[in-house]
Amino acid sequence: MQLDIALGLEDASMNFHLIDRDKVKVKLPEAALNRVKEAAEDKLTHVILPAEKALHIAFLGEAGNDPYTLEAHRKAGHEALSQIRHNKSVTIQIFDHMNDADAVGAFIEGLLLSDYHFEVLKSEPKGSDATVIRVKSSVFSAKALDEMVQLTYAVHWARDLVNLPLSHLTAEGFARAVATAGDRNGFSVEVFTKQKIESLKMGGLLAVNRGSIDPPTFTIAEWKPEKAVNKKPVVLVGKGVVYDTGGISLKPTANSMDFMKSDMAGAAMMAAVLDACARLKLPIHMMALIPATDNRPDGNAIVPGDVITMYDGTTVEVKNTDAEGRLILADALSYAKKFEPSLVIDAATLTGAAVRAIGTYGCCVMGTADDDIFEELNEAGYETYERNVRFPLWPEYEEELKSDVADMSNLGKGEGGQVSAAMFLKHFTDYPWMHIDIAGPSFMHSKNSYRGKGGTGTGVRLLVRFMKKHFDL
């Protein structure tokens, strides 16, 4: 991040005033105050105010902390950063006239999340000048601000991982990135090489990797603070397909294979969640399991009709090699049993069906965890505006996965494909489990407010909020 943000004031080249549109009572010059009142009556989101020595901008919020109002504040923060960059301002003051911690927090969050540039692969990155931001607020604490900054670092790291192409992030490269983060922020990392994966007979991960010249990895990251509130760990599992051609069931290039560097967004999300919890020193014992490989159609690649044996001994008929994510996740979900977890959550860009179901506006979730746990996830989703919709795991979807030649197949019907994919994963679990299909919101093809363009880091804020809610932190 280029922003240096803290509480306290100093001379500034630009001022922002956060004003409740229903209670316009601020100390501004009369002309400026009249402009604010007129803008409030017109329901404008912001107004540029007349000023002699500095640019003054008022963002007009609404009372209340419902999800849609707070999302409007995040978007206002994005607009604020756009104004900052446009005016090349280097010192900013934010005046909180609303005295609303949630409102000013959402505004700052939108501003911080917007401060992202992926230019590491450009020969002449443009970048931007560092900007000093000071916030005057009687209700937003320095601790809350620091936590928001640390969480933003984790979100930006997830975006970096997703935006890196295969030429710069193989499965081994991903594992190294997680290990580096562990060294930096105090969590342990163990990486299984191909030889170890073969000895464990992780048939799903090895099958997907058969068409690749690059070896697979299986990364185990663990955050285990001394005074953890949970005796049994929460295990996070992320799909780490660092590039997906579809295998022999080749994808079309346009609007499909051309952005399949993002097929490891679930792995990036889970690595970043663990990283964020370590940064925030949350007293939660957590683990992340990340099976990683690319999926290519080389001479030894699996083909439709092949039967493979998974880590737990289940035989699977591969009807479509582009349904590969569930194969590597299944091995990881089986492996998670050895840790006797209290809860397992997996995340994956798993199905186009999830996108067709709810678009890019949220995630599809399913699983066997208790209803109250799903409700906590739902609440966290609205609070972070990373919403999720729960779908049922009806027994009819299990029928779709029957095979004539193996224990099960890796493909159900096209209709409700996000559910049949989850039903496949369910077979490999025997613990409370939630599955999050992030195929829709994980990667944006055009700029989307503070989420930006490209990798969004979706799910990091969601699960950190969920963890704090679930463990009452």
Which residues form the catalytic set?
A: 251, 326
* Cβ atoms of residues 316 and 204 within 8 Å: yes
Q: How far is CA 174 from the centre of its chain?
A: 16
Distance CA 360, CA 350 (A): 14
Cβ 131 vs Cβ 90: under 8 Å: yes
Per the CB < 8 A criterion, the answer to whether 448 and 456 are in contact is: yes
| Dihedrals phi, psi of 401, to nearest 5 degrees | -95, 10
List the beta bridge partners of residue 308: 316
Contact 354, 440 (CB under 8 A): yes
Query: What is the DSSP-derived secondary structure letter of residue 73?
Result: H
* Radius of gyration (C-alpha) of the chain in whole angstroms: 24
CA 339 from centroid of its chain's CA atoms: 24
How far apart are the C-alpha atoms of 449 and 53, rounded to whole Å?
29
Closest by alpha carbon to 12, among 77, 74, 87, 103?
A: 87
Query: In the block, which residue shows the tokens 């967004």?
Result: 265
- In this structure, is the dihedral angle defined by the CA atoms of residues 283, 284, 285 and 289, taken in order, positive or negative? negative
Helix (H) or strand (E) holding 163: helix 142-163
Using an 8 Å Cβ cutoff, are 287 and 187 in contact? no
- Write out the DSSP string of 82-95: HHHHHTT-SEEEEE
Q: How far apart are CA 158 and CA 270, in angstroms?
A: 9
Report how far apart, in Å, the C-alpha atoms of 269 and of each of 147, 190, 289 are. Answer: 18, 18, 12
DSSP code for 13 = S
CB 281 within 8 A of CB 229: no
Q: How far apart are CA 318 and CA 411, in angstroms?
A: 8
